[in-house]
Each structure stands twice: as structure tokens, then as C-alpha cells.
Amino acid sequence: MIWGVLQFPGSCDERDALHACEVVGGEARLIWHGERDLGGVDAIVIPGGFSYGDYLRAGAIARFSPAMEAVAEHAAAGGPVLGICNGFQVLCEAGLLPGALLRNEELRFICKQADLVDGEGQTLSIPIKHGEGRYYAPEEMLDALEARGQVAYRYADGHNANGSVRDIAGVRNERGNVVGLMPHPEHAVDPLTGSTDGRQVFEALERLAA
């Protein structure tokens, strides 16, 4: 298993993501945003941060990088892709995932531990840290997403700190190989620094690559 972690100017959590991939198992390498060739990696992680300063809209500029073109091809071929926080925003901006992320309802950056519920009804304790994490999609699109089982993660009751519609914390594409979420599973892989529930998010991706 070889993981590739994208790095844009302004990425922040790329080293954390590399470390998390290694903890879960396998080799992990950084891929510079200017690379058009992903170098044969099995799975892609687009990490958190503030690519291009998030100055226009979070993720709006990063989606045009050469590496993102390669990611789109990788995804189209069924390759697994995980977007975390800013990476989720990039995937939405790139049209690889449905919906958009807006400024938090309270207009403040929030960093805290949150409970998520995954598709199987399991509760995971994973930190959130973002200022633009309010998931939005039009009602019809939301109904369709729910009907097709594309809501990957929801905030547990009382844990939706950003005002996301229908408590949505993460979604997947129709095919199921592209997943994005606002919470940070890469910061939940080591009991020393938090919980270990984030490993399950990476392991789910690992299974897709198999």
C-alpha cells in the first residue's frame, strides 16, 4: 500500500497525514501540487490547511493544480481519494464531491474534539478545526445523496458546531471511492495526542484500494 499526500502552498496538515498513513500501514509520500504524475500511488490523501491562503474561497485555487488533474483521473479510474478539511473543500470545488463548505455559522474558527457517526452507526471521536466547515447542498441534492447512501459521516447529536445541513460532516461520491470530511482523522491515530478512532477512516480507504 502506497499513500500519496498532496502538498499545496499553504497546506498545514500534510506531515500529520503522512504520519497517520504510516501508522495505519504502508508507505506514504508527499506529492507536490505541480506534479502531473502521481507516481503510481494506491490512494490519495488531500490534507488540511489553507491552500493558497484560502483567499478566494477555500479550495478554489488548489483545484486547478496539475496534481489535481491527476487526482481526477485517479478517481475516475476508481482509485481511492480522501479529502480532509481543506482537502474536502478542494474536492467539492473540483466537482469530485457534491456540495460546498461555507463559513461556520458562528463566524469563528472552532477547534475541539467532536463525535461523528459513520455509515454503520459507529461513533468516532475525532477533532474538528476549521472556520469554513458548514456543509451545504440544495435540498434536492441532499435528498438524492441520502437516498444513494452518500452521506459518509454525520456529527452526533450536539456535536454539529458549524451549522452543517443535516449534520453532515463528510460525503462520498456515487461510486464511493472519493470521500471527504471536515473532521481530522489524521489527528486521531495516536492515544498520546488524542483518540485512535481516526484510523478507521484511513482503514476504510485502504479497503477500497485493495
Partner 1 sequence: MSNAPDLPRHRELGLTDSEFELIVEKLGREPNAVELAMFSLLWSEHCAYKHSRKLLRRLPTEGPRVVMGPGENAGAVDVGSGYAVAFKVESHNHPSAVEPFQGAATGVGGILRDVFAIGARPIAVLDSLRFGELDSVRSRHLLDGAVRGIGHYGNSIGVPTVGGEIYFEEPYEHNCLVNAMCIGFAKTAAMVRAAAAGVGNAVVLMGATTGRDGIGGASVLASAELGEGDEAKRPTVQVGDPFEESKLLECCLELLEKGLLVSLQDLGAAGLTSSAGEMASAGGVGIDIDVAKVPLREADMEPFEVMVSESQERMLAVVEPGQVAAVRAICDKWQTGAAEIGVVTDTRHIRILKGGAVVGDMPVEALVDGCPLYDLDPAAPEAWIYGNRETLAPSADSAATLLALLSAPSIASKQWVFQQYDAIVGSRTVRRPEAADAAVLALPEAGNAIAVSIDGNGRKVACEPFNGTVEAVLECAQNLACVGAEPLGLTNCLNFGNPEKPVPAWQLDRSVSGLAAACEALDVPVVGGNVSLYNEGPDGPIYPTPVVGMVGELPDPARTAPSSFAQAGDAIGLFGPFSPTLFGSELAKQRGELAMGLPEPDVAAVAAACRAVRDAVRAGRLASAHDVSDGGLATALAECSIGAGLGCRADLQDLREEGCTPEEALFGEGPGGFVLSGERAELETLGARVIGEVGGTTIELAAGDRSLIVGLTDATEAWRSLDARAESVAEPPADA
Partner 2 sequence: MARARVLIRPKEGILDPQGKAVERALPALGFEGVGNVRVGRMVELEADDPEQLGELCEKLLANPLIEDYEIQPL
Is 184 considered catalytic here? yes
* Binding-residue pattern over the window 18 to 47 for partner 1, x denoting contact by CB under 8 A: -x----------------------------
The residue among 56 and 76 lying less far from partner 2, judged by its C-beta, is 56
Strand partners, 136: 100
The answer to whether 137 contacts partner 2 (rule: CB under 8 A) is: yes
Residue 24 CB, shortest distance to partner 2, in Å, is 32
Member of 1, 12, 26, 103 binding partner 2 (CB under 8 A) = 103
Residue 9 binding partner per list partner 1, partner 2, none, with a CB distance cut-off of 5 to 8 Å that depends on partner kind: partner 1
| 77 Cβ contact partners less than 8 Å away, ≥ 6 residues apart | none
Catalytic-labelled residue, pool 132, 186, 187, 206: 186
User: Cβ closer to partner 2: 85 or 201?
Assistant: 85
- Applying CB under 8 A, does 1 fall inside the site for partner 2? no
Cβ-based nearer residue to partner 1, 23 or 209: 23
- Which of residues 55 and 64 has its CB atom nearest to partner 1 in the complex? 55
Stretch that binds partner 2, among 66-74, 93-101, 166-174, 201-209 (CB under 8 A): 93-101
100 binds partner 2 (CB under 8 A): yes
69 is catalytic: no
Q: What is the rounded CA–CA span in Å between residue 57 and residue 87? A: 13
Q: Catalogue the active-site residues.
A: 85, 184, 186
